[in-house]
């Protein structure tokens, strides 16, 4: 009986060993993230000519564990009482230096608490801190050593992602999306947190100029309010006014002169205001400017229905263009550019606006001239002006502090710029084809060539 008993004992021991070894191997082989995904930190950099600012996004649970500052139950109202301790902790663990080892100056600014989530984690609380890194005089902000071990010096599984959001010299100016620079984490072989070598390349003023050129073009395309103001002023340009009504047509040359004058005046107005407010670094509240723009569109819509200032559209476009230029300057103000970068950006941004504006006017011009000669012109003009007026009224109410669905719907139209360009291109081709066909028919019938076109009553 000894043989069978030994055999049974051996089998039982083997089974028990497997039962212990397999789970152990799985546990040891699995990474902590796979076993229990934890949120990582993000350091988001904005690179300027003489400094780098950073937005630190820190999971509250890991931050509390590493710093000893318990923020688990801290509310936004109680955060200021912990601010001094938080800033002291951060300053101890953030040490950027030049590539030669000279220390940068670090300052910690605003702090805030919020709820967020990452792709691999559920919702969690996040501490956000603003920081500014200033190198020694003459040091290169594009190449530095980032010695940073916030949280990871205690929570050894923690990972920090370092990204760039804005970098004018690299052509990154739109503030959308980020470029990853690298990661900071524990080196398990040496049990140290190695500093990150940040290399942002050479950068150039040309890349900044081209990026601002694109940004200016995109800004006018997605700025539905700016487009509507210009187009609504152009809509009645080929018409003549008598007794407070649009009653007939002006000649083609006069219509072209009006359209050109309105476009140039609007350009001059917003260019002057953009340059003055940007170069003067004026701190202008945004809501009065945005409300002024909405009011300008509303006035333009009413003028398209009943003439308020016939023949003086260019003057009005220039005056209202000043407000639109101030709104454009808000984009540049957020970038905190040096004077040299600001001048280059003004040229590129304004040129981008003008090129797209010129494209839109050229696409709209054939349709405006043909539309004025059609019997359905009054109905189409009144419909377009009414819709524009409703959108402008919604914007005005929204910008005075009362959000509404009309403003939201009007804003969403800015996401369909490709459709707008296609529609304008199609109508321009159709209008051009109609004009050529009409002229060919008129030449083929000499007896009708001298008759004026048939117009309907507005």
pLDDT tens, residue order, the chain (458 aa): 445 455 545 544 554 455 444 444 444 444 443 444 678 999 999 999 889 999 999 999 999 999 999 998 888 889 999 999 999 999 999 999 999 999 999 999 999 999 888 766 678 899 999 999 999 998 999 999 999 999 999 999 999 999 999 999 999 987 777 889 999 999 988 889 999 999 998 889 999 999 999 988 888 887 778 888 888 888 888 888 888 888 888 887 888 888 889 989 998 998 998 888 888 877 778 888 899 999 999 999 999 999 998 888 899 999 988 988 888 888 888 787 888 888 899 999 999 988 988 888 888 878 777 777 777 778 888 888 898 999 999 999 999 989 999 888 888 776 666 676 677 678 767 767 777 777 777 777 655 545 555 444 44
Separation between Cα atoms, residue 380 and residue 309, nearest integer Å: 21
Helix (H) or strand (E) holding 16: helix 2-29
What pLDDT sits at residue 330? 82
What pLDDT sits at residue 28? 44
DSSP H stretches of helix in 141-250: 205-222, 224-234
Contact of 382 with 305, CB cutoff 8 Å: yes
Backbone angles phi, psi at 52, to 5 degrees: -130, 125
- The structure's pTM equals 0.75
DSSP H stretches of helix in 55-123: 60-67, 79-92
What pLDDT sits at residue 209? 94
Chain-centroid distance of CA 340 in Å reads: 23
- Residue 194 DSSP label: P
Structure tokens given for 146? 């980032």
What pLDDT sits at residue 286? 84
Separation between Cα atoms, residue 380 and residue 364, nearest integer Å: 14
Backbone angles phi, psi at 162, to 5 degrees: -110, 120
What pLDDT sits at residue 112? 94
Which residue in this structure is represented by tokens 């340059």? 275
What pLDDT sits at residue 13? 52
What pLDDT sits at residue 92? 96
Would strands 159-167 and 179-185 be described as parallel, antiparallel, or unpaired? Answer: antiparallel
Separation between Cα atoms, residue 60 and residue 128, nearest integer Å: 9
What pLDDT sits at residue 36? 47
What pLDDT sits at residue 188? 86
Q: What is the CA radius of gyration of the chain?
A: 32
Residues 6+ apart with CB under 8 A from 410: 224, 225, 391, 394, 395
What pLDDT sits at residue 326? 87
């Amino acid at each position: 009986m000894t043989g069978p008993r030994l055999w049974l004992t051996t089998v039982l021991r083997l089974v028990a060993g497997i039962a212990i070894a397999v789970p152990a191997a799985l546990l040891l082989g699995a990474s902590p993230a796979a076993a229990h995904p934890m949120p990582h930190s993000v350091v988001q950099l904005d690179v300027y000519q003489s400094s780098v600012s950073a937005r630190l996004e820190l999971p509250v649970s890991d931050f509390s564990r590493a710093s000893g500052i318990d923020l688990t139950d801290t509310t936004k109202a109680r955060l200021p009482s912990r601010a001094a301790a938080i800033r002291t902790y951060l300053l101890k663990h953030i040490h950027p230096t030049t590539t030669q080892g000279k220390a940068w100056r670090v300052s910690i600014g605003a702090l805030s608490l919020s709820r967020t989530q990452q792709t691999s984690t559920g919702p969690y609380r996040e501490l956000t801190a603003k920081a500014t890194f200033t190198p020694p005089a003459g040091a290169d902000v594009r190449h530095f050593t980032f010695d940073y071990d916030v949280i990871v010096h205690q929570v050894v599984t923690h990972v920090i992602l370092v990204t760039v959001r804005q970098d004018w010299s690299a052509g990154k100016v739109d503030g959308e999306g980020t470029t990853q620079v690298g990661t900071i984490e524990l080196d398990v072989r040496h049990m140290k947190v190695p500093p990150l070598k940040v290399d942002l390349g050479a950068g150039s003023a040309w890349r900044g100029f081209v990026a601002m050129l694109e940004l200016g073009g995109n800004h006018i395309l997605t700025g539905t309010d700016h487009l509507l103001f210009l187009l609504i002023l152009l809509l009645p340009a080929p018409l003549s006014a008598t007794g407070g009504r649009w009653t007939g047509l002006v000649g083609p040359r006069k219509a072209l002169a009006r359209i050109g004058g309105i476009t140039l005046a609007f350009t001059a107005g917003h260019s002057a205001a953009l340059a003055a407010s940007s170069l003067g670094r004026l701190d202008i509240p945004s809501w009065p400017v945005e409300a002024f723009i909405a009011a300008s569109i509303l006035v333009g819509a009413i003028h398209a229905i009943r003439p308020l200032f016939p023949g003086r559209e260019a003057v009005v476009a220039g005056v209202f263009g000043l407000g639109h230029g101030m709104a454009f300057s808000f984009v540049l103000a957020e970038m905190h550019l040096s004077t040299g970068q600001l001048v280059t950006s003004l040229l590129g941004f304004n040129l981008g606006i003008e090129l797209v504006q010129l494209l839109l006017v050229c696409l709209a011009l054939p349709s405006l001239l043909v539309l004025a000669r059609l019997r359905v012109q009054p109905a189409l003009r009144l419909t377009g002006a009414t819709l524009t007026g409703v959108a402008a009224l919604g914007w005005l109410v929204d910008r005075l502090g009362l959000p509404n669905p009309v403003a939201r719907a009007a804003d969403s139209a800015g996401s369909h710029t490709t459709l707008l360009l296609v529609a304008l291109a199609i109508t321009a081709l159709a209008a051009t084809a109609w004009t050529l066909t009409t002229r060919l028919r008129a030449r083929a019938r000499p007896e009708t060539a001298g008759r004026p076109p048939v117009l309907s009553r507005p």
